[in-house]
Structure 1
Amino acid sequence: MLPIRLLLVSWLALAPACQSASQDTAPPVGTPATAASEPPTCDCCVFNERRPTSWRTRIAPDTAAGTPLRITGTVYESDGRTPAPNVAMYFYQTNARGRYAKLGTEPPTSHAWWHGYSRGWLRTDVQGRYELRTVKPGPYPGRTIPAHIHFYVKAPSQRQCYYLSDFVFAGDPFLTESYWAKLEQSDGFPRYGGVALTLHQDTLVGQRDIRLLPQFDRRPTQSGLLVGQECPSFQPWHVWGPDEGKRTCPMCAYGSGEGVLIWTRSVTSDTLRRMARYWESQLQRRGPRPLRAFIIYTNPERKPAAAVRQLLERFARQARLREVAVVYVPAPDDNESAFLYSINPAVTITVLGYKQRQIVSRFIDPAATDRELQAHLFSLK
């Protein structure tokens, strides 16, 4: 995840030069970094400032200029189905002019100084609901970054607080392909299209449901993108199979067809060998329908490339593979691959079936019985 420090370094680069830190200005660009002006280093400490009890909050003050905005939604646990109660949420944003407005009296090392006064806290209700009221933020002046609202979550079912992809708004001219690509490749978040807004009387109204990330669950029972989500692009190293020796993107090359992505933290289990042999047999008799299978090793021990290749080659030979691709990614929390697919590092095997780049099935630590393997295949038909 991106810590506050990194986010604010990027934000500083966007802030225009100014004479003083007054109402809606930022610290001057080029100001030397000192202990007195550096951002807070404790991301989660922002939740110590206020302990909300309501599932509603107001971010911008009532007197703020701009178009009123109301966003509602439900926060779900990492299974994507169970409403998540008592989730603390923290939001902050620019004003309608694209500035992080502040009073000028805030301590320079506080979140209030770096985030401005347009911020708020809430706690989801027993149904996982939340509602925020504010004014529509403006984009950073002179830049090409879409208008957005930052937010953090802290859930009782999870180990820590973390940052999630900003609220951005459908139709924003700065919501370009390059923006979404950066969201995926640098930040590790799947694209979601932005919040669609409609005008009711004088207020813009939108809705966004949020799934907690399984990577942070206290109990590792969930892993992987949900059925219906789109498979992002990623570039693993291919050790075995048709693209051996290359960094072919599975979705770019084969996403228009159908197949299975088997994410694993270990290649020594009998379960994985049975799955590998099953999919090898299916690929060899696939007939006119294109079918692909990828075993993706997440390299939990962060072994060097030579050691990983040796490990995976040995596995592929022992499993007598030819068509099944055996690939690896740098680490189980790599933003551009495993994290992007919401792979929980504590789960041994996560199986994601895809069809035309969309997730159609998800199996977590399967037993790989004949019946279960047939169910995997059936989900692709």
Structure 2
Amino acid sequence: VHCEHQFKSGFDVAFNFDSKHRITALFGPSGAGKTSLLMMIAGFVVPDKGYIAFDDRVLLDTEAGIALAPESRHLGVVFQDQRLFPHLSVEDNLRFAQRPSPLNREESPFTRIAEVLELNDLLQRRPASLSGGERQRVALGRALMSAPDLMLLDEPVTSVDEPRRETILSYVERVVHEWDVPMLYVSHHRSEVQRVADWILAFDKGRLTEQGPPDKVLGADAVVAAGEPVNLVRLTKVSPSQDGGWLGTVNAGNTITQLRLPANLKNPSKSVFVEFAASDVMLASGNTEGLSARNRLPAIVTDLVPRTGRVFVALEMGEQRLWAEVTTHAIEDLGLVIGSNVTCLIKSAALRVVD
């Protein structure tokens, strides 16, 4: 993405970035230019000068005179105020957005969307009778009905009261996992981007000021302060093992390794995620022979966040980030410092497959 634009108000923006991550957060204070950028990507605002492409598909090239209309960009947009049709039922709002699906996708995603977002009991109701959280779930579903290549979410939980925000965020995560669709997520709340993003683009006064994983941009302390970090590792392939179980292939930077998955896994897809708690990760340095845990991932220590009697260890594994929770004694015994090479040991029983 490369965009430059000056608004009539005098506010100007200039963005230049490339992101290949699962959920990329556009983060910064109100008025930083986050929504302006999202609207340019969606096609609702055409910048004075710009180039926008997704998966080698050019959406905008002002020099070449290319500017695809919003409906031709194959993007699913969820606005802060939902923008549902008030005169239509929930079902009709969803079906209104459906476009012919590519041949490699199911003919109609309606049934699965209603199931995953738990909309079946709401299908005959009108938007005015729904809560803010319910309307946001419908808006998510409507965006998915267009079979998007990329989801754009503009402050999706701002209009939802505090108790329901976590619920909506869990649905956002379900959407990404279920349909394997990447997402740009706009927010000015640190807790939101800590929760959902695996890459952050930080903006201020119309400029991109910093980018990186949450613990780099926000600080590892801030990530831990939001609660115990949960690890989410992408598997590039799942295949049967010789003993009747399943093996998941992990791209660990310069190393390709495999994780032994829970034996009761049924009908795994080719690309899934495994989730596990920081407390489920044991760390070892040096020779790991003789240790019982068969799942071993190489990583580098990038930060140490001490808490009472324990330490959260931020780890880097290629482009993926991991967390381990260990005792202060373990840090001393292993001699861990930033930059240490370690092996992460995870038992198969601790892994939860998110497909």
Instruction: Name the TM-score, length of structure 2 as normaliser.
Output: 0.28
Give the greater-gyration-radius structure (CA).
1
Which structure has more strand as a fraction of its residues?
2
Instruction: Name the TM-score, length of structure 1 as normaliser.
Output: 0.27
